[in-house]
Homo-oligomer: A and B are copies of this chain.
Amino acid sequence: MTDSASPSTPFLDEAARLLGPRGLTTDPDLLAPWLTDWRGRFTGRACALASPADVDELASLVRLCARHGVPIVPQGGNSGMSGGATPDESGAALLLSLRRMNAIRRIDAEAGQATCEAGVILQTLHEAAEAQGLRFPLTLGGKGSATVGGLISTNAGGSQVLRHGSMRALVLGLEAVLADGRIFSQLTPLKKDNRGFDLKQLLIGSEGTLGIVTAATLRLLPAVAERIVIWAGVPSLAAARTLLLHCDAVEGEALEGFEVMPQASIDAVVEHLPAARPPLQGRHAWHVLIEVVADRAQADTLRARCEIMMADAFEKSLVEDAALSASEGQAEAFWLIRETVPAAERARGPAVQHDISVPVEAMPSFVETTAPMLEAEFPGVEAIAFGHLGDGNVHYHVIAPQETDGRSWNATTGKAISRRVHDLVTEWGGSISAEHGIGQLKRDELARLGDPVALSMLRAVKQAMDPEGLLNPGKLI
């Protein structure tokens, strides 16, 4: 430890004794990488970085913090989108890393369950499940750094929510340390348990404000034995939604992804990544990526079923053109285009981005109504939406007029546009945070636009669970 790491207060002395040199540091160089969120939008300070080795050590640490009134900011992979794991600038908080608690305690292949500590990285879980012929059916761009604890605390989504749900649907059991240092332990999964309302549900998606998730039992599924990715061109977002209904009716049990992109996004991808080859020759107002999978029992018939599904779609004039991936390599190439959209859009210049949802059936008219509206109200901007149509969730980017200075535009016009987008989403009965959470990024917008009854319930529960307000203060509520 360097000089500056020497604990300088009774709290830090006690914490250092409790956690040992591997478990606590005040070294600025070691803290620095974790004090700024990965997108570089928020930077804070912390009195130290704690990395407890296990739940009991963490529980003792939380009791110590409670005694000294030290706020705690829990952090997993620091890959969140809303600054939920970045402390404020006061330096009063303890930054709590869960990364050292990274054991996969148990995989029960027969029951399809994995019990993981909070610090297990998503990709590690994927690999551990694969090794047993299983899979964990949730993935997202940050899988190489996102941790189980963070995914649960933010109820993460991703591109495979359509069939298997967000994290909430995959958490069978949970362990957490509460604000007073007691351990809530419900790791044993019971398919039916009606001993009161479900306390696990409170902690999922609470962004570390009600408790610190330390471990979870997660649902695993049989490995995918065959997958086909279909690329289709359609004339409108409404047509994409009709195609979604068709696919869901015919192959609902196999349908795992349904993503949409406008032609402009495909053009941006081609410009950004010249090696990318759009699967369709022609231009289409909207492009749809459909993922259909099968486990071993259903694998043989998957291609034939997909061909029938798409032949039917042609016959009903639901698509203008379509292509099925002929190999796993091609399936990956199709996905690469979809996954390059965010980077390609960012490369087009300054933009404000929104992670929004409305009821699935309302999404086509939402986009078709609001995009021209924004383009009229803010001359020169371009509004584009892409993403998880199957979940009623798109990423809605509004791109600045060409040759705009990004920084000043973001702070003024960009901010006004975001307010307008959030107003519109709220009018349409939607959510200003579909899958990225509130964190510090959207806290004021939630306070401005949230239903006052829901907000007061959130606050009442927060007050009940963390009366001193020491768990991730300044986030969510």
Contact = CB atoms under 8 A, between A and B. Distances in A.
B188 A357 contact: no
A79 B392 CA distance: 37
A359 to B, nearest CB: 6
A190 B168 CA distance: 14
A432 B195 contact: yes
Interface residues of A, number: 79
A450 interface: yes
Interface in A228-275: 245, 249-253
A433 B206 contact: no
Nearest to A162: B191
Contacts of A359: 111, 188-190
Interface in A171-222: 178, 182-186, 188-199, 201-207, 210, 222
Nearest to A248: B112
Nearest to A298: B253
B357 A431 contact: no
Tally of this chain's copies = 2
A393 interface: yes
Contact of A435 (B166, B194, B204, B298): B194
A458 interface: yes
Contact of A457 (B157, B361, B435, B465): B465
A450 B191 CA distance: 18
A431 B195 contact: yes
Contact of A192 (B110, B183, B185, B431): B431
B464 A434 contact: no
A206 B196 contact: yes
Interface in A421-438: 429-438
A360 interface: yes
A107 to B, nearest CB: 13
A218 to B, nearest CB: 15
A454 interface: yes
A249 B223 CA distance: 11
A326 interface: no
A108 B222 CA distance: 32
Contacts of A434: 190, 192-194
A197 B203 contact: yes
A207 to B, nearest CB: 8
Contact of A436 (B194, B197, B432, B437): B194
Given A111-B361, A249-B297, A250-B297, A438 B184 contact: no
Given A111-B359, A446-B196, A460 B453 contact: no
A451 interface: yes
Interface string A432-449: 111111100000001000
A131 to B, nearest CB: 18
Interface in A55-69: none
Interface string A12-24: 0000000000000
A108 B194 CA distance: 30
A10 to B, nearest CB: 28
A365 interface: no
Nearest to A211: B457
A195 B438 contact: yes
Contacts of A205: 194, 196-198
B193 A197 contact: no
A453 B183 contact: yes
Interface in A379-395: 388, 390-393
B195 A450 contact: yes
Contact of A191 (B108, B161, B429, B460): B161
Interface of A: 108, 110-111, 154-155, 157, 161, 166, 168, 178, 182-186, 188-199, 201-207, 210, 222, 245, 249-253, 297-298, 357-361, 388, 390-393, 429-438, 446, 450-451, 453-454, 456-458, 460-461, 463-465, 476-477
The 6 A-B pairs of least Cβ separation, nearest first, read A201-B201, A464-B464, A192-B434, A193-B431, A460-B464, A188-B429
6 contacts: A161-B192, A190-B431, A197-B202, A202-B461, A253-B298, A461-B464
Given A186-B454, A196-B207, 6 more contacts: A188-B429, A193-B434, A196-B446, A196-B477, A201-B202, A222-B249
